[in-house]
């Protein structure tokens, strides 16, 4: 199979979908790798590293003429024709109209965000691998921006108490944020609406914040949190406010696939925080968990820094690309015949079927189809 790897077009997207080490393994398995000039340069993988493992480094036109193209950003419809199979992180549930445009090209579109959250699918789950990167980087951003040490320090000048860090949302990003903040020596507490999260939070040495609200069972929603009713949302906001006001740093990670990020921190709560405190809003790209978050910006509100940057994962582009590329390789292995290395799209496989957004000129993912009677 001819596998194309395009360069990403966004200035703040530094990752590459296939790294040289994964390219080498795919070539050894019998595939042909076609990489666009400069595709990996921003992630620390120059063109010569791809050439050294046997990949062809060439133009975007050649890349998009491949049988199979793997990307990170959503592809432009103008690049697609009915013969191509595309796999990437294309945010399918954030912009249904754009998915219709992509489907109209006739290309077969797979979104790694749509992979089912099952044990068997873990090696393909790029959403989780990249969320872990975001959680890690968010804590480093908070520590760098904070006016206080994270760990306790005992010095000749006296003892400095550790920073208090609050993590909102205990999914993959939140758990990685907890683990990273704990490694830096902070005192960490965390909240999640899912009932199973408390045990996971406490296993990492953090304390779980309890708010009087109806807990959710993650198994009912594929492992993700669901939207809550307005009255529950108000109770959550009110219950979290004292912990946030007392915090030196807050990492917010709460997200609901295909929906705006839930509001967890109001303007009043921000203005009650101490000057020098930091909020890092990982969910900024879908509106943010903080009422004052501005996606793509860092702002100062009465001395409280609110970091709403949307390129956190790209700030660790080298390792993030390694993780993503391994997810892509696992998907390629799933959809190719091991004997011929030709495409074998078996839609009876729950991973292949679950990740498929469009094929044959039509949207096929059930979450993007109109509901009956609508």
CATH number at 243 reads 3.40.50.720
Q: 239 and 212 in one domain?
A: yes
C-alpha–C-alpha distance, residues 225 and 247, integer Å: 24
What CA–CA distance (Å, rounded) separates 340 from 324? 25
**Contact between residue 367 and residue 55 where contact means Cβ atoms under 8 Å apart:** no
Q: Annotated catalytic sites, by residue?
A: 117, 122, 125, 128, 224
Rounded CA-CA distance 277/273 in Å is 7
pLDDT of 374 over the 50 cut? no
C-beta of residue 326 within 8 angstroms of C-beta of residue 333: no
What confidence score (pLDDT) does residue 221 get?
46
pLDDT at 218 > cutoff 70 = no
pTM tops 0.85, yes or no: yes
Do 40 and 102 belong to one domain? yes
Q: How far apart are CA 353 and CA 118, in angstroms?
A: 13
Residues 63-91, mean pLDDT to the nearest whole number: 94
The pLDDT assigned to 373 comes to: 47
Residue 166 structural domain: 132-311
Instruction: Write down the pLDDT at residue 359.
Output: 96
Average pLDDT, the chain: 93
The answer to whether position 32 is within a domain reads yes
Domain membership of residue 126 (yes or no) is no
DSSP string, 74-104: PPPGGG--TT-EEEE---TTT-HHHHHHHHT
Same domain? 307 vs 325: no
Are residue 303 and residue 155 in the same domain, yes or no? Answer: yes
Domain-embedded: residue 20: yes
pLDDT of 341 over the 90 cut: no
Rounded mean pLDDT, 127-131: 96
The verdict on residue 369 lying in a domain is no
Is residue 369 within 8 Å of 363, Cβ to Cβ?
Answer: yes
Q: Are 279 and 289 in contact (CB under 8 A)?
A: no
Same structural domain, 209 and 266: yes
Question: Count of alpha carbons within 13 Å of 290, Cβ hemisphere only?
Answer: 34
Single residue among 268, 290, 311 that ends a domain in this structure: 311
| Helix or strand holding residue 330 (H, E) | helix 317-335
Q: Is residue 319 very low, low, confident or very high in pLDDT (cuts 50, 70, 90)?
A: very high
Residues 298, 289 contacting (CB under 8 angstroms): no
Same domain membership, residue 321 and residue 306? no
Residue 321 pLDDT > 90, yes or no? Answer: yes
Residue 371 lies in a domain: no
Residue 164 and residue 249 share a domain: yes
Percentage above 70 pLDDT, the chain = 95
121 located within any domain = no
Whether 165 and 284 share a structural domain: yes
Last-in-domain residue among 271, 287, 311: 311
pLDDT reading at 224 higher than 60 = no
Domain assignment of residue 57, yes or no:
yes
Confidence of residue 358 (pLDDT cuts 50, 70, 90): very high
* pLDDT given for residue 215 in this prediction: 67
Instruction: Kindly tell me if the per-residue pLDDT of 186 is higher than 80.
Output: yes
**Least confident stretch, 13-22, 315-324, 363-372:** 363-372
Q: Are residues 278 and 182 in the same domain?
A: yes
Asked if 277 and 346 sit in the same domain, the reply is no
Is there a single domain that holds both residue 189 and residue 94? Answer: no
Asked whether residue 301 falls in the same domain as residue 330, the answer is no
Q: What's the pLDDT score for residue 136?
A: 98
Rounded distance between C-alpha atoms, residue 139 and residue 201, angstroms: 16
Report whether 62 contacts 79 (CB < 8 A): no
306: nearest Cα among 316, 315, 319, 297? 297
Tell me, yes or no, whether 374 lies in a domain: no
The total number of structural domains in the chain stands at 2
User: Shortest CA distance to 24 belongs to which of 8, 3, 38?
Assistant: 3
């Amino acid at each position: 199979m001819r596998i194309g790897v395009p360069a990403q077009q966004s200035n703040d997207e530094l990752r590459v979908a296939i790294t040289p080490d994964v390219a080498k393994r795919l070539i050894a398995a019998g595939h042909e790798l076609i990489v666009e000039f400069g595709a990996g340069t921003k992630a620390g993988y120059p063109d010569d590293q791809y050439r050294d493992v046997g990949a062809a480094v060439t133009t975007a036109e050649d890349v998009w003429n491949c049988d199979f193209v793997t990307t990170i950003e959503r592809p432009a419809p103008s690049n697609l024709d009915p013969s191509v199979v595309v796999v990437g992180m294309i945010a399918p549930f954030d912009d249904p109209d754009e998915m219709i445009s992509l489907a109209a090209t006739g290309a077969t579109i797979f979104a790694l965000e749509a992979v089912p959250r099952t044990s068997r699918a873990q090696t393909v789950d790029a959403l989780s691998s990249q969320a872990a990167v975001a959680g890690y980087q968010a804590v480093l951003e908070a520590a760098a921006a904070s006016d206080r040490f994270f760990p306790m320090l005992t010095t000749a000048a006296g003892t400095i108490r550790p920073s208090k860090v609050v993590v909102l949302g205990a999914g993959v990003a939140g758990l990685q944020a907890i683990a990273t903040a704990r490694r830096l020596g902070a005192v960490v507490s965390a909240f999640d609406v899912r009932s199973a999260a408390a045990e996971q939070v406490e296993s990492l040495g953090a304390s779980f914040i309890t708010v009087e609200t109806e807990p959710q069972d993650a198994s009912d929603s594929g492992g993700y949190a669901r939207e809550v009713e307005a009255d529950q949302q108000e109770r959550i906001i009110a219950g979290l406010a004292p912990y946030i006001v007392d915090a030196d740093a807050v990492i917010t990670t709460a997200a609901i696939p295909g929906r705006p990020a839930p509001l967890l921190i109001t303007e009043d709560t921000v203005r009650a925080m101490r000057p020098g405190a930091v909020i890092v809003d990982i969910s900024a790209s879908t509106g943010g968990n903080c009422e004052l978050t501005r996606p793509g910006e860092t702002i100062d509100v009465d001395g409280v820094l609110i970091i709403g940057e949307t390129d956190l994962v790209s700030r660790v582009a080298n390792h993030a690309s390694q993780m993503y590329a391994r997810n892509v390789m696992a998907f390629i292995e799933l959809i190719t015949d091991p004997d011929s290395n030709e495409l074998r799209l078996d839609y009876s496989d729950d991973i292949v079927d679950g990740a498929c957004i469009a094929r044959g000129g039509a949207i096929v993912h059930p979450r993007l189809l109109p509901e009956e009677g609508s």
